Structure 1
C-alpha cells in the first residue's frame, strides 16, 4: 500500500494501533494511515475532516480513503507539547486563544441524536465498578464520588456535538512559533462540548497554564460562566476512575496516578470546581 510513495518516516507517537507514515507524493508531503477493521468509523472520520475543511478549521485535510487506508494532508511543524515552553507566556496565551477558534468550529457540528446523559452516566458507572476491582486505591476517592453524584443532574439537557476527544498539546502543531493546526481525530466522539476541555487539566496545564487559560477564555470570548466550571470539574472527576483503569490496563499506573494526584490537587480533592491554576 506504500509502493506508490517515497516513505520519509513513520509516525510513532500516540497510542493508536494504526500505522502512520509521512510520505512524498508528487512533490508534497502527505500522511498515509494504514488500519485494520473499523472501516465504517474511519470513513466517518474522513467525512468529518471534510466538514471541518469546509468550515475553515486548521486541521488535517482529507485526501482519499479506501479499504484499510486513509490519506490526509501533512501539517508542517512540531507538536505543541514539545515546543510551547520555548514561547513567552503571552505567546502561549495567544496560541490558546487562536486554537479556541478551531475548537468552536469542531463543536459547531451537531450530533444526529442526543444520547449524552445516558451514555456518559453508563460509562462513568462502568469505570467506577472496574476501579473498585483494581488492586489499588486513590486517596480521597469517596469524596470524588460524592462530588460527581451531586453534579450528575447537570448533564441533563446538555448539547451533543462533535468532540475531538483528545484535545491537548500533543495533538496541536506549532510551526515557527505559530499555531498551525489540530491533528489526530481518530478518537472523535459525540457529546457535551465542555468534555473536550478536560485534557487541559489532565495534561496541558502541566506544560502551559497560559495556553489553557487562553483556550478557555478564547472559546468563551472572556471569562467562562460558573456552569462551565461545574461541568468541567464533573467530567474531570469522572476521569479519575477511567484514568486509573486505563493506567492499570496499559501497565502505566505510576504515571497515570501522578496525573490524577496533580489534577485532584488542582481541585482540592474535588471540593472545588474552579482549578487552582485558573485565576479569575
Structure 2
C-alpha cells in the first residue's frame, strides 16, 4: 500500500510498482518507482540546501552519464516534507558487488570511477565560496584541539599533529571545485560487472578536488585494493600518471581524516572501528615517512 503522501506526487501516483529502499545511512525516505525513478523525501526545513544539491546533480549529469538525471523537485506541505525525483540507476553498491567480480574487473571498474570523478571536478565552486586553505585549516585546528581528549597513544597524537603542521602549507592556493565528499564503494554502483553509477550527493561540498580521494585508504581498500588502485590511476589518466604532488596532498588529507575520524568515533559509538582503520592507514604510510601507501605499491 502506498503511503498517502505519495498520492500527491504525479510520478508516484502513476507508478505501477513502488519499492521502499532502506539501505544506507541517509535519513531520507527513499522509494524506487517502476525501476525508473528514485524518489527521495526529507524534512521541509531542509528544502533550501537540498534544492542546491538537486541543482548541482543536474549540472553534474551534464558532465557524466554516471550521475543520476533530475526530474522534479517539490514540497508536500500537508506532510511537512520536500522531495526530489532522480533517475534510478541499476546495480549494487560496491561494498556488496565487488567481491563477486574478478580482480581485473574490480580494477577496470575503479579506473572508470576515477575518470568519471575527474569529470565532476570540472564543476567550479560558486562565487563567494570560502578560501580552501582558511576553511580546511580552521576545521583541522579544531579537530586537533579536540584530539587531545581522545584516549589515544600520545605518540600517535604527536605523529598526526606534527605531520599536519609540517605540511598544511600545501593547502595554500588549492582550487575550489565540486566535492562529492563521500566517494567510496558504498556510493558507487556496480552492474553487469562494471561501474553503473555514482550516487548519494547529500554530503556534497566545495574545495580541493583531491580531498575527494581522502577516504580511499580508509574505506575503499577494505572493499577492494584493485578497485582502489584503479580509482587513483583512472583519476590521473588524462595527465599521464600519478604525480608526487598528488601523493603529498593525499597523505596530508589522510592524516587529517584520521584525526576527524577518531574525534567523531567516540560520540558515534564506533571509536574502536575508527581506531583500527586509522592504524591501518598509519602502517600503510610507515608512520607518514612514506608518501605512497603500501596498498598501491605492494
Shorter-chain TM-score bucket reads over 0.9
Instruction: Please list every run of 5 or more consecutive structure 1 residues that lacks an aligned counterpart in the other structure.
Output: none
1:155-193 deviations in Å (ceiling 9; x for gaps): 001111000000011101111112101000110000111
In the other structure, the counterpart of 2:133 is: 117
Q: Is the 8 A contact 1:158 1:192 kept in 2?
A: yes
In the other structure, the counterpart of 2:246 is: 228
Q: Is the 8 A contact 1:233 1:273 kept in 2?
A: yes
Q: Is the 8 A contact 1:58 1:102 kept in 2?
A: yes
SS at match of 2:50: helix
Compared CA separation, residues 193 and 180, structure 1 to 2 (3 A): same
- The reply to whether residue 212 of structure 1 matches residue 212 of structure 2 is no
1:213-233 deviations in Å (ceiling 9; x for gaps): 111111112431111001001
- The reply to whether residue 44 of structure 1 matches residue 52 of structure 2 is yes
Listed as ranges, the matches of 1:12-31 within 5 Å are 12-24=22-34, 28-31=35-38
Q: Is the 8 A contact 1:160 1:193 kept in 2?
A: yes
How far residue 133 of structure 1 moved from its aligned partner, in angstroms, is: 2.6
Listed as ranges, the matches of 1:157-168 within 5 Å are 157-168=173-184
Q: What's the RMSD between the two structures over aligned residues?
A: 1.7
Q: Is the 8 A contact 1:57 1:105 kept in 2?
A: no
Instruction: Please list every run of 5 or more consecutive structure 2 residues that lacks an aligned counterpart in the other structure.
Output: 8-12, 76-81
How far residue 10 of structure 1 moved from its aligned partner, in angstroms, is: 2.6
- The reply to whether residue 34 of structure 1 matches residue 49 of structure 2 is no
SS at match of 1:57: coil
In the other structure, the counterpart of 1:137 is: 152
Compared CA separation, residues 131 and 278, structure 1 to 2 (3 A): same
Q: How many angstroms apart in 2 are the aligned matches of 1:274 and 1:46? A: 36
SS at match of 1:264: helix
Q: How many angstroms apart in 1 are the aligned matches of 2:103 and 2:250? A: 24
1:222-248 deviations in Å (ceiling 9; x for gaps): 431111001001011001111012211
Listed as ranges, the matches of 1:2-21 within 5 Å are 2-3=6-7, 4=13, 5=15, 8-21=18-31
TM-score (norm 2): 0.88
Q: Is the 8 A contact 1:95 1:179 kept in 2?
A: yes
In the other structure, the counterpart of 1:56 is: 64
In the other structure, the counterpart of 1:275 is: 293
How far residue 32 of structure 1 moved from its aligned partner, in angstroms, is: 1.2
Question: Which of 284, 291, 296 pairs up with 1:266?
Answer: 284
Listed as ranges, the matches of 1:148-187 within 5 Å are 148-187=164-203
Q: Could you list the structure 1 runs, at least 4 aligned residues long, displaced by more than 4 angstroms after superposition.
A: none
TM-score (norm 1): 0.93
In the other structure, the counterpart of 1:91 is: 105
Q: Is the 8 A contact 2:108 2:194 kept in 1?
A: no
How far residue 64 of structure 1 moved from its aligned partner, in angstroms, is: 0.7
Question: Which of 51, 74, 78 pairs up with 1:66?
Answer: 74
Q: How many residues align?
A: 276
In the other structure, the counterpart of 2:10 is: none
